[in-house]
Structure 1
Amino acid sequence: MPGQQLRIVLVEDSVLLREGLVRLFDEAGYVTAGAFGDADDIVARVRTAEADVAILDVRLPPSFRDEGIKAALLLRAEVPELGILVLSQYVEGVYARELLAAGDGGVGYLLKDRVTSLDEFTDAVRRVHERGTVLDPLVVQGLLASRPNPLTALTPRERDVLELMAEGRSNASIAARLFIGVGAVEKNVSAIFAKLGLEESATEHRRVLAVIAYLQRD
């Protein structure tokens, strides 16, 4: 958003997409502190750029397999305060689970072909910077389909709320999607936390931990 001056490092091998995103960030009031076609020396690049958010394609040179996601995981370990948004052509469940494993937010996984709104994309960048979790609904569905649902104690409404939480939505956004009041969403969220045994903590992001429990618990 204008005035925030978020500093972004972009790693995307497609020149056309990379240049298009740079222009988009400029229009949104963000600063592109670095735009690269590969993830070489990514930690040094991010630190030199003093970046707030790194945006990376999953598949980068030289093998176009998993260089981008490996770079994202390295950044999570080496620069934990950095927001990370991964772009992919496909739902790659293993990678998404690894990115979420830290449980403290500041991460997103979006599918390139489903990014249809520029405003939503720039908003996703902002939410990741603010330690939110942003997941494409198809990514959430793919993760859920790959594992049995262990949370049998949740009601259907609580599962609906938790799935929307997994997309990184606020309580107000969830209320609008489900056509219920914000107070009802808050009650459902509290019930989810209680059923998952997530006690209130000053250091842990319970919304993200709830999503992790939903997607990863055996």
Structure 2
Amino acid sequence: MTDNTSCRVVVAEDNTLLREGLQILLERNGFMVADVVGDAEELIGTVRRLSPDVVITDVRMPPDFRCEGLTAAVQLREEQPGLPVVVLSQYIEQSYVAELLDSPGGPGGSRGAGIGYLLKDRVSDVAEFADTVRRVAAGGTAVDPAVISQLINRRQDPLGRLTPREREVLSVMAEGHSNASIAQRLFISDAAVVKHIGNILMKLDLPPDDGRNRRVAAVLAYLQGAVR
């Protein structure tokens, strides 16, 4: 996308000064800011309504300031495969970054296409930032080198392959709870628990024919990782 006057952007940032600063910066560089929002729920609703060309979102947003913005980005990419997203963060949220990079890249596109993940304290060049947004909007990828480095290290840890929800399921499983109890504690369906456990066993390289109790082996892997 070379003509950024036709590039419609939605910005999600809970900090008012930063939100307005991003809007001014983008408009001065030729983008059309379709809307600015302050939380993840607004982001999801606004993107569904406006179908922008690119989304720029913070990671930690109201109400809990954990990974709401990044979770919303993953959800929107699932709903709209290939939706370009630029994530701005003070932190490297490894599991969610991996999930975002593995999200659908649209018809004929590779997974992870149209994604940017930038650390706020390393974004200092306005022109470079604008070019990054253009590149992501056109289906490119822009990931901070520090993020790439941590993701490479993460792949050496089998538990690092798990999503945050899968880690939650494994954590409750390690406490000795049944599938039904896990579902009740995490407020998810029994079917969802079965799916998550299946994903956990697969990601921990525990095939069904290796002669071990895979559930116990998964718990042992979790406990070993917890004490490192």
Scaled by the length of structure 1, what TM-score is found? 0.65
Partner of 2:31: 30
Q: Residue 105 of structure 1 contacts residue 133 of structure 1 at CA under 8 Å; is this kept in 2?
A: yes
Segments of 5+ residues of structure 2 without an aligned counterpart are: 104-110, 158-202, 206-228
SS at match of 1:95: helix
Segments of 5+ residues of structure 1 without an aligned counterpart are: 150-215
Q: Residue 82 of structure 2 contacts residue 113 of structure 2 at CA under 8 Å; is this kept in 1?
A: no
Q: Identical aligned pairs, as a percentage? A: 47
**Which amino acid counterpart does residue 116 of structure 2 have in structure 1?**
G
Q: Residue 55 of structure 1 contacts residue 84 of structure 1 at CA under 8 Å; is this kept in 2?
A: yes
Q: Find the aligned partners of 2:156 and 2:98 in 1 and give their Cα distance.
A: 15
Write out aligned runs for 1:81-160 (5 A).
Answer: 81-102=82-103, 103-148=111-156
Q: Find the aligned partners of 1:56 and 1:145 in 2 and give their Cα distance.
A: 25
**Which amino acid counterpart does residue 138 of structure 2 have in structure 1?**
E
**Structure (1 or 2) with the larger CA radius of gyration:** 2
RMSD: 2.1
Deviations 1:51-104 (A, max 9, x none): 100111100000000111110011101122420111110112111101111314
Residue 137 of structure 1, CA deviation: 0.5
Partner of 1:48: 49
> After TM superposition, what 4+ stretches of structure 1 lie above 6 angstroms from structure 2?
none
Q: Residue 104 of structure 1 contacts residue 131 of structure 1 at CA under 8 Å; is this kept in 2?
A: no
Partner of 1:14: 15
Q: Count residues in correspondence.
A: 152
SS at match of 2:130: helix
**Which amino acid counterpart does residue 145 of structure 2 have in structure 1?**
P
Q: Find the aligned partners of 1:47 and 1:123 in 2 and give their Cα distance.
A: 25
**Which amino acid counterpart does residue 66 of structure 1 have in structure 2?**
C
Q: Residue 37 of structure 2 contacts residue 43 of structure 2 at CA under 8 Å; is this kept in 1?
A: no
Moved more, 135-144 or 99-108: 99-108
Q: Find the aligned partners of 1:16 and 1:56 in 2 and give their Cα distance.
A: 14
Deviations 1:10-52 (A, max 9, x none): 0000111000000001101101101011111433311322310
Scaled by the length of structure 2, what TM-score is found? 0.62
**Which amino acid counterpart does residue 146 of structure 1 have in structure 2?**
R
Write out aligned runs for 1:174-189 (5 A).
Answer: none
Partner of 1:58: 59
**Which amino acid counterpart does residue 128 of structure 2 have in structure 1?**
E
Relative to 1, partners in 2 of residues 1:129 and 1:3: Cα closer, same or farther, differing over 3 Å? closer
Moved more, 42-51 or 96-105: 42-51
Partner of 2:194: none
Relative to 1, partners in 2 of residues 1:37 and 1:85: Cα closer, same or farther, differing over 3 Å? same
Flag the structure with more relative contact order, 1 or 2, with Cα contacts below 8 A and sequence separation at least 6. Answer: 1
Q: Find the aligned partners of 2:112 and 2:60 in 1 and give their Cα distance.
A: 25
Residue 130 of structure 1, CA deviation: 0.9
Q: Residue 55 of structure 1 contacts residue 87 of structure 1 at CA under 8 Å; is this kept in 2?
A: yes
**Which amino acid counterpart does residue 53 of structure 2 have in structure 1?**
D
